Amino acid sequence: CFFDDAFGLKNLDAIGVGNVLYETDYPHSDSTWPRSREVGEEQMGHLAPDVVDRIVRGNAIELLGLTEDGLWAGA
């Protein structure tokens, strides 16, 4: 997970897009909140939309076994 890791984003080919998650670390004082969306867009603006979707949503859904709506299966 990252919220400020330019190195990781520049090395997605080596790391693998499926191994990267975005975090806001809310509500900790060292988080990017309340600018999390703006910071994420600045950091990932050079990436294809499908890659951004995997990093900010899809990989977490897969890892946690959630439905496409972000809910626990069977909930």
Is residue 69, in this structure, part of any structural domain at all?
A: no
Distance CA 24, CA 65 (A): 20
Is residue 49, in this structure, part of any structural domain at all?
A: yes
Tell me, what's the pLDDT at 73? 83
Tell me, what's the pLDDT at 23? 81
Is residue 73, in this structure, part of any structural domain at all?
A: no
Tell me, what's the pLDDT at 14? 94
Is residue 55, in this structure, part of any structural domain at all?
A: yes
The total of structural domains in the chain comes to 1
Predicted confidence pLDDT, tens digits, the chain (75 residues): 555 677 878 889 999 999 998 887 777 777 778 888 898 898 899 999 999 999 999 999 999 999 988 899 876
Is residue 1, in this structure, part of any structural domain at all?
A: no
Q: Check: CB of residue 3 under 8 Å from CB of residue 31.
A: yes
- Residue range of the domain that includes 47: 6-64
Is residue 15, in this structure, part of any structural domain at all?
A: yes
Tell me, what's the pLDDT at 37? 86
